[in-house]
Amino acid sequence: MPNDASSDQLIQSLTRKGIQDQRVLAAIAKIPRERFVLDEDAEEAYVDTALPIDCGQTISQPYIVALMTQAFELTGDETVLEIGTGSGYQTAILSQLCRHVVSIERHEALAQTAQSTLSDLQITNVSYRLGDGTLGCAELGPYDGILVAAAAPKVPQSLVNQLRNGGRIVIPVGEESSQSLILATRTPQQLRVEKLCDCRFVKLIGAEGWPASDG
């Protein structure tokens, strides 16, 4: 279980930074982040920073996890697609806030570790897929929300196509070295786009992302 003082300090920090959704804050307080970081980084689990994980990937900064999650305004009845299971931490947060999570990871080792951790935490409302996240998972859609935990040169059209009307996609978009985190809402006519903040994520590799030869 998390160190109470450290967890409390993180929640206070997130609140000061503008995270106001009490359900999001409660989920972050509940999920033990130290279970999702490397053993040598356990003491840093409740510091508001990104940390390295296996396969050259990262576990996102808690503020970014909270900001992305808050942008969906989840009520508990949604189905959310997550691109990039990674450590499984963001997956765990989403699992507390919506009806069902579909999570896709391209690295088998990460996917297996995340599934094991989430199983240990008795999180059961997640479906896992191994493969190209840029193509989504149409057979389990459409989705109320799509969270992309890696940076794309543009919003993948396959993901847009799997959003319900009124559904939201949160995704970092831009160059390799820096991106804008955007919230895009699907309307019958177009995507309505809002910038949330500047950010820097690992690259989204796939048919509608960056080529694997670059990653």
Give the tens place of pLDDT for each residue, 24-73: 999 999 999 999 999 999 999 999 999 999 998 999 999 999 999 999 99
Q: Please compute the mean of the pLDDT values over residues 92-113 and round it to a whole number.
A: 97
**142 preceded by cis ω (within 30°)?**
yes
Of the chain, the end-to-end C-alpha distance in Å amounts to 35
Q: 60, 87, 95, 103: which one is catalytic?
A: 60
> Which tens digits make up the pLDDT trace of 167-204?
999 999 999 889 999 999 999 888 999 999 999 999 99
Type and span of the H or E element at 29: helix 22-30
Residue 89's closest CA among 132, 133, 35, 42? 35
- Residues pairing with 146 in the sheet: 81, 169
Could you say which of 3.40.1260.10, 3.40.50.150, 3.10.450.50, 1.10.150.20 is the CATH number of the domain covering 49-214?
Answer: 3.40.50.150
Q: Is the pLDDT of residue 5 over 90?
A: no
User: Residue 176 has what pLDDT?
Assistant: 87
Q: Map out the domains of the chain as residue ranges.
A: 49-214
Question: Is there a contact between 148 and 169 (Cβ–Cβ < 8 Å)?
Answer: yes
- Residue 1: pLDDT band with limits 50, 70, 90: very low
Record the tokens describing residue 31, joined without a space. Answer: 């999920």
What number is the average pLDDT over the span 3-14? 82
pLDDT tens digits for 72-84? 999 999 999 999 9
Mean pLDDT of 112-138: 97
Residue type, 124: T
Say if CB 172 and CB 147 are below 8 A apart: no
Query: Is 116 a known active-site residue?
Result: no
CB of 30 closer than 8 Å to CB of 96: yes
Instruction: Using DSSP, state whether 206 is helix, strand or coil.
Output: coil
